[in-house]
Structure 1
Amino acid sequence: MKSEVITDPRPNGSAQIAITKEPELRAQGLPGIHTAQMVIKTSRGPQFIDITDNVQEMLDKCGIKEGHVLVYSRHTTAGIVLNENEPLLIKDMYRYLEKLASPAEDYEHNNFDIRTVNMCDDECANGHAH
C-alpha cells in the first residue's frame, strides 16, 4: 500500500491531504478502499468552507471514477453540511446558528466551577459550539 502526502494551501484555510493508493486491487478489477484525510483550519466560528474542490482533487489523485465518498468530521464542534454554496443561503445559515446557539447565552458547559468532565488546562468557554 502506497501513501502520498500533499500540502495544498487554500484561500479559505489550509488543507493537508493524505492519500492511500492500492493499485494491486485496481489491476485485478476488485473494489478497493481508498482513504484520504483533509485538515481544514478555520479562522473563526461559525465558518462555512466549501470543500468540493478538495474532495474532487483527492478522487482525481487516486484515479477514482465511480463509487461512494464518505466525508465526516472527527470533532464535536464541527459538522458537514450538504447544500448549494449560495451566498444568501449561507447568510441565512449564519443567522439561524446565531439564534440556535448564541455565544451570548449562558451555558452550564461554560461553568468551570462545577464542570468536572472533559476538562483540559486550556479549556475555553465554548458551550455554544456544541
Structure 2
Amino acid sequence: MEKPSNGFRVFVKEIYLSTKERIELVDITNKVEEAVQESKIRNGICLVYAPHATAAIILNEHEKGLLSDIVKKILEIAPPGANYLHNRIDNNAHAHVASSIIGSSATLPVVNGELVRGTWQNIFLVELDGPRASRRIIVEVLGE
C-alpha cells in the first residue's frame, strides 16, 4: 500500500483462481469486498481488472438461470466453431472476440469503507477459454 502525504492511498491485491469450464462465470464478489475492507480506504474507487485476453469482468445478478443465459448469449455472439482467422494460430479466437466485446474491467465506488453495488449486482470473472489452472484478477482501491 502506498500512502502519499495528502491522504490519498492506493491498495493493490491480486486474486488467483482456477476455472473448470470452457466458458463460465465465477463470482468473485466476496474476494473483491475483502480487498476493499483490507484497504482501509473509506471513500474512493475500486478497479477490478482481469489481465487476460480471453477473460472478462462483468457485474450482474447471481442467479443460475441468468448465468446460463449469459453463457448461451456469449456462445451466440462469438461461437467457438466459427471460421476465425486467429484459429490458424490458436483454437480460441471466440474467446478473444468475446473478451474484446465484454471488457476486461469494472470500476465501482467505495463509500464509507464499503463497495457500492446494486442490490442484484455481483462481480464475475467471465472465463472464455477454460478450463484454466490459474487466472489472476487485480483489485486496486484508490482513495482516502
Q: TM-score, normalised by structure 2?
A: 0.59
Among 61, 79, 96, the residue aligned to 1:84: 61
Among 80, 89, 92, the residue aligned to 1:126: 92
User: Hey, what's the Cα distance between the residues in 2 that align with 1:80 and 1:58?
Assistant: 16
Name the structure where strand makes up a greater proportion of residues: 2
Q: Report % sequence identity.
A: 32
- Describe the superposition over 1:62-101 as per-residue Cα deviations: whole angstroms up to 9, x where unpaired: 2233321011111111111111112221111011011111
1:30-49 equivalences in 2 (<5 Å): 30-49=7-26
Among 87, 93, 100, the residue aligned to 1:110: 87
In structure 2, what residue type is equivalent to 1:125? N
| Segments ≥4 residues shifted beyond 3 Å | none
- Describe the superposition over 1:31-80 as per-residue Cα deviations: whole angstroms up to 9, x where unpaired: 21111112232222211011110011112222233321011111111111
User: Hey, what's the Cα distance between the residues in 1 that align with 2:56 and 2:22?
Assistant: 12
Alignment gaps of 5+ in structure 2 = 97-144
SS of the aligned residue for 2:35 comes to helix
User: Hey, what's the Cα distance between the residues in 2 that align with 1:66 and 1:45?
Assistant: 37
Asked if 1:64 corresponds to 2:30, the answer is no
Task: Report which of the two structures shows the higher radius of gyration computed on alpha carbons.
Answer: 1
Q: Which residue of 2 aligns with 1:14?
A: none
In structure 1, what residue type is equivalent to 2:25? F
Number of equivalenced pairs: 96
Shift of 1:126: 0.8
In structure 1, what residue type is equivalent to 2:87? N
Q: Which residue of 2 aligns with 1:55?
A: 32
- Describe the superposition over 1:85-122 as per-residue Cα deviations: whole angstroms up to 9, x where unpaired: 1222111101101111112222111124xxxxxxxxxx
User: Hey, what's the Cα distance between the residues in 1 that align with 2:82 and 2:24?
Assistant: 19
In structure 2, what residue type is equivalent to 1:92? D
In structure 2, what residue type is equivalent to 1:39? Y
SS of the aligned residue for 1:35 comes to strand
Alignment gaps of 5+ in structure 1 = 1-20, 113-123
